[in-house]
Chain A
Amino acid sequence: MAQAKLSREDDHVTVDARDVYYRQLNETLRGLVQDGVGHIRLEHVFGQRYIGTNLARPVDIEIDGIPGNDLGAFMDGPRIEVHGNAQDGTGNTMNSGRIVVHGNAGDITAMSMRGGAIFIRGDVGYRTAIHMKEYRDKVPLLVIGGTAQDFFGEYMAGGMVVLLGLDLAAGEFHRASFIGTGMHGGAIYIRGEVQDYQLGKEVGVQGVEGEDRRRLEEAVRSFADHFDLDAAGILAGNFRKLYPKYLRPYGTHYAY
């Protein structure tokens, strides 16, 4: 396995990740962050896992290529931008920071995410936003430009998820079924069409007004900024909010 090749210009470091094993790559990143580097550009990334997992301070990381599974798992602070697709487990149990993906992301994107923001321009895989949660001012945000696969927002316990459906053709429905099944916290905002059978039985549907509208506009504007899109055009679409009907979905499940 090769060592990561570095080239440095002031606060900016470029790392050639070609043929570098993830352990060496992440160790290199830890070293750079410890040295106080503020901007890192990773080139030729091919499937290296856990990028951003254990970096002690906020730092900007740009990735050219396809990072591996668990991008930003347990991440606490860094801001990652991926020029390509991301694989499974992006933002797994993420605590704070930001991940921007210019392509698609795989399964369980934002699983158990607790804080920070993730913006995906394209589509996401199965069980995205599963068991996202929030506590007081720690409210995670996930915005997806495309559509999602089944069990979207399953077990969701908090946080805000926006599904924009920008690439759906007229009359085309979102892909996911069992949306928000077991959901007991947080909110999902959906632009584009879903049929009733696609929704989990624990979610209610309502329009987006007042404070909800303000939060949605803020999230969409921040999404549009990252991808150079027209926020007003996106916001002109028809949005619905999915909310949990019960805080205790299984409250009557047991005989005491």
Chain B
Amino acid sequence: MKSYVLPEFWVDRDDYRCIRCGVCVNQCSYDTHYYDPEDDVVRAREERCTGCQRCAVFCPTNALTIRTHPYEYRPNANWRKENIRDLNRQADTGGVVLTGMGNDKPLRIYWDHLVLNASQVTNPSIDPLREPMELDTFLGAKPDQVDVTCGRVQGSLPPQIHLSTPIMFSAMSYGAVSYQAQLSMMRAAGEYGTLANTGEGGWRRELRVYGASTIVQVASGRFGVDRSYLNEAAMVEIKIGQGAKPGIGGHLPGEKVTPPVAETRMIPVGTDALSPAPQHDIYSIEDLSMLIYALKEATHYEKPVAVKISAVHNAAAIASGIVRAGADVVVLDGIRGGTGAAPKIIRDNVGIPIELALAAVDQRLREEGIRSRASVVVAGGFRNSGDVIKAIALGADAVYIGTPALVAIGCTVCQKCYTGKCPWGITAADPRLGKRINPDIATQRLVNLLRGWSFEIKEMLGGMGINAIESLRGNRLHLRGVGLAEWELEVLGVKGAGR
């Protein structure tokens, strides 16, 4: 059947610059470029191009420009190119349209409508280059009171995780990302004193040396979950939902279940790895509590147990239930949260922005007097350290970053993760593509990212006259809204700028 889908990208090859070296042909895992020896020319099958820019970056003579395809339908504000393209893909196959990464629709990004305060005259700002500045963060339930005698804490505290910066790497499963990508994140987390999350796809033996900086996930698939998996990590996270696909499970297609992936997930090679939509032992808050305590029993009450949900309409009430169920950490993943594969219609339409969910959850937990019983971690759409510090001021203890970490190691957010052919080797199922990531270099780039953002956070803190991130946590007086409606300011719990 002839497909009516037009190419999304235009390959502009400057023939004067092209030296026929074949780099683009070799680099493109979608076979977009090919060499035609008869005419001694390199040609392109544009319908295969995903716009990932791998070829353009590696072209030694800068002969390539990959740009959005200039084809035009009759202008129509309702029927945009994307609508026509998706509809035709479905008419071709009768399937559910897949995508990768986070929501790319122009939903309001509240970070861009929140501004920070700084000290002027009435209190001094602090220069973090010369004065102590603390980003240390502790995740875990905080006791209502601590008995300190002779400078020592008496009795035992609930388990706490120390982070040297309030930024962690989000859950990304081996199988969704390549071995090299996962290894690099775990190493970088260990080097910088933060945590990386395995995702629900199991945890390879040789990566367990990074256990002290690893969060393991328990999700509906229960892949690779056993006692050693739980006990060798620093923290255990129950995944109920993911911002990119609230309410649904996951299907890792059989072709991605290669022998090493099968070994890690403990399932046969080539079968679909299905994660059911719900965890079938959790149909209520009481059931959730049962799994939380099953995991605490399995880990001697020595590890904090986190519960991750997608940010949805009733997130505040659900979060209250999660805390009361005994979770040490509540994780919220907003509508812009990323994914390796999700139905596009769900990614783009289900859930709420993380800023509003965070503000509502923090407010609710405070009103109920249980905010200290759990840490709050937020995820989904963080782009820079400004977003992170605003999240802390809105009430988060720490954030998870996924896409920024991938961008640091080459990702250009082309949204084709679900094909398993990532030319950058990040979400590649083919081990030869995974080798395009040098873990030493990728680790360095990730550490650099954490370092750069942490410096920036310190600068902003210093500007506000604050010398510990703890003092900014939930301190919404340091935020003001710009261009927001009254109801938005109310949900966010911030004043409008100038007030």
The chain A residues found within 8 Å of chain B, CB to CB, are 23, 26, 30, 49-50, 53-54, 69-70, 73-74, 76, 88-89, 92-93, 95, 108, 111-112, 114, 127, 130-131, 133-135, 138, 154-155, 157-158, 182, 184-185, 247-256
Q: Given A74-B226, A250-B251, are A256 and B294 also a contact pair (CB < 8 Å)?
A: no
Q: Given A53-B298, A111-B281, are A135 and B271 also a contact pair (CB < 8 Å)?
A: no
- Cβ-defined contact, B280 with A111, below 8 A: yes
Q: Give the contacting residue for B274; candidates A49, A157, A252; CB below 8 A.
A: A157
A253 vs B272: C-alpha distance when bound (angstroms): 12
B276 at the interface (CB under 8 A from A): yes
- Cβ-defined contact, A50 with B95, below 8 A: no
Residues of B within 8 Å of A93, CB to CB, are: 222, 225-226
Q: Give the contacting residue for B222; candidates A30, A53, A131, A154; CB below 8 A.
A: A131
- Cβ-defined contact, B266 with A133, below 8 A: yes
> Which residue of chain A has its CB nearest to the CB of B343?
A254
> Interface size (B, Cβ < 8 Å)?
41
- Cβ-defined contact, A131 with B270, below 8 A: no
- Cβ-defined contact, B276 with A255, below 8 A: no
B419 at the interface (CB under 8 A from A): yes
A70 vs B294: C-alpha distance when bound (angstroms): 7
Write the nearest CB–CB distance from B262 to chain A, whole angstroms. Answer: 7
Interface pairs A-B: 3 shortest CB-CB: A255-B95, A112-B222, A135-B266
Partner-binding segment picked from B86-94, B366-374, B433-441, B449-457: B86-94
A75 vs B293: C-alpha distance when bound (angstroms): 14
Residues of A within 8 Å of B418, CB to CB, are: 256
Write the nearest CB–CB distance from A173 to chain B, whole angstroms. Answer: 24
Q: Considering the complex, which residues of chain B in the window 220-278 have a beta carbon less than 8 Å from any beta carbon of chain A?
A: 220-222, 225-227, 230, 251, 253-254, 262-263, 266-268, 270-272, 274, 276
A131 vs B250: C-alpha distance when bound (angstroms): 13
- Cβ-defined contact, A251 with B272, below 8 A: yes
Write the nearest CB–CB distance from A181 to chain B, whole angstroms. Answer: 11
Write the nearest CB–CB distance from A167 to chain B, whole angstroms. Answer: 26
Residues of A within 8 Å of B42, CB to CB, are: none
A221 vs B123: C-alpha distance when bound (angstroms): 81
Q: Give the contacting residue for B298; candidates A74, A88, A154, A247; CB below 8 A.
A: A74
- Cβ-defined contact, A184 with B272, below 8 A: yes
- Cβ-defined contact, B262 with A135, below 8 A: yes
Q: Given A112-B222, A247-B271, A251-B253, are A89 and B290 also a contact pair (CB < 8 Å)?
A: yes
A255 vs B97: C-alpha distance when bound (angstroms): 5
Residues of A within 8 Å of B220, CB to CB, are: 131
Q: Give the contacting residue for A248; candidates B93, B254, B300; CB below 8 A.
A: B254
Residues of A within 8 Å of B222, CB to CB, are: 93, 112, 114, 131
B297 at the interface (CB under 8 A from A): yes
- Cβ-defined contact, A256 with B276, below 8 A: no
A30 vs B301: C-alpha distance when bound (angstroms): 13
Q: Given A74-B230, A93-B225, A108-B280, are A256 and B271 also a contact pair (CB < 8 Å)?
A: no
